[in-house]
Structure 1
């Protein structure tokens, strides 16, 4: 028999404004400890030096993580022109340089090629798996890899500031799996001057915004207190992009057992993904078919 996990059966979302210099995994561990939660996870890794919204799910809310991971996200980031680094950010070694600097108009014109459905090669220092091993581990050993390009949807990419000739501040809204470092690298290449990310901040992810996030210092100060619990968002905050259906009592009972259950639908169509509730409590996420929700994830909330 497996060892029983210690901690509270607590479910919901905690929005953290992650500081630079801390890994996403460390933030999750901090939140789990502060809430004394049995289970925790996050929706979308941020690089250690990046800041901004990191959505941490506790308990049953971890079942809704994919819906935040798949949602649109927005970033502001500063590109440093004239230098390429082996990590595509300021933490790496400079591997190429140029005296060329683009004008504002040249930057704006080049950005068009990075909007819409694009193909993007991940950085050498990334969590992509190559032959079962993370790319960054191979890169640390000096191995150069031929990483395959991956599709990315970029909703918007705009120039928002130009502090000086060496730097440009951009804002990007994109879908799942985007590497901002690759955008900076490829933009520098397109402009013929090299480039890497100097600073990166995720300003929102799905329904969650960095301005609403707790700092690590606040989490430490309120740890294991009712004051901290008051900052816990409900599980269904992670289902904001999905339609809500009202389950009948009989339907809810069937859904909780993993079976299709009757729901009262409004504007959903056959085959839509939705979630069902009973008396305001989330019961399940699933696919709507002819008056019933066919569950893919069931919540055990009391």
Structure 2
């Protein structure tokens, strides 16, 4: 059984919990997620099963989208509503000031990851230091905000927004930093991940739906084929006579009909099926040399 399940992770369940749930209910050991989602957040969490776990490194998962809410006036140690209140502000800001500040966060930004995060420093996760009352200096990290839009009429110091950002962006930190820039503090009160790469919330399955589908023995309905998640790579179709060579790791020489570039990775198809990921090792005139890097059959 190989493929990807686009899971709608519920609030209160860790990404590891979801992996455990899939592993247990599908009775399969090879299961992995494509990137953690905060336990207190809900939303898109693609889970790879079987040979699909070998494809994670090739997937284009950099672009992520969220709907979040920030509450101004309070700063917490976790940068969300579950943390301890550190500071309170009674300052007021106008809707115009909020809009202007939000707009300043579009484009390239630098974030200092929150102390309560899973980033490892000297072999230890930041939240482990934080729970011991220790603060660790962390270098700012470059991130990119592609879109950032306010969704509601601003009231009661709450702002609902959607954001499209690069991988590794902390929405909690975005809320904290915007609040700090406004001089009123801020923390995240809600987070829903709506998209990861090509995986969208409209195509997710809830935990309950997955259970029901397993009971009906209709598991294939849940699975996205491996190559569907790799459409960021150009495809290449080989003659059937090359099948045995490529599945056994031999290099093959073929005509460079689409003018592939040297060292580029491609989705390889043969005998009307997806074989795996190949790499262009050499190009000579109108011919190229292809070798399989990962085989998924």
Q: Which residue of the other structure, out of 238, 262, 271, is the alignment partner of 1:270?
A: 262
8 Å CA contact 1:252–1:262 kept in 2: the answer is no
Question: CA distance change for structure 1 residues 154 and 224 in 2, over 3 Å: closer, same or farther?
Answer: same
Quick one: distance in 1 between partners of 2:259 and 2:66?
Answer: 32
With 115-124 and 158-167 compared, the bigger mean Cα shift is at: 158-167
Give TM-score scaled by structure 2 length. 0.90
Write out aligned runs for 1:159-238 (5 A): 159-162=150-153, 164-223=155-214, 225-238=216-229
Question: Match of 2:46?
Answer: 55
**Does residue 105 of structure 1 match 2:96?**
yes
8 Å CA contact 2:60–2:232 kept in 1: the answer is no
Offset of 1:92 from its aligned partner?
0.6
User: What RMSD in Å do the two structures reach over aligned CA positions?
Assistant: 2.0
Offset of 1:226 from its aligned partner?
2.3
Say how many residue pairs are matched. 291
Quick one: distance in 2 between partners of 1:112 and 1:294?
Answer: 47
Q: Which residue of the other structure, out of 291, 294, 297, is the alignment partner of 1:297?
A: 294
Offset of 1:212 from its aligned partner?
1.2
Quick one: distance in 1 between partners of 2:233 and 2:4?
Answer: 16
SS at match of 1:255: helix
With 261-270 and 97-106 compared, the bigger mean Cα shift is at: 261-270
Quick one: distance in 2 between partners of 1:121 and 1:251?
Answer: 51
* CA deviations over 1:146-198 (Å, ceiling 9, x no partner): 11111212211121223523111111111221111111111111111111111
Q: Any gaps of 5 or more consecutive residues in structure 2?
A: none
Q: Which residue of the other structure, out of 272, 276, 279, is the alignment partner of 1:287?
A: 279
With 282-291 and 123-132 compared, the bigger mean Cα shift is at: 282-291
Q: Any gaps of 5 or more consecutive residues in structure 1?
A: 1-9
8 Å CA contact 1:17–1:53 kept in 2: the answer is yes
SS at match of 1:190: helix
Larger Rg: 2
Give TM-score scaled by structure 1 length. 0.89
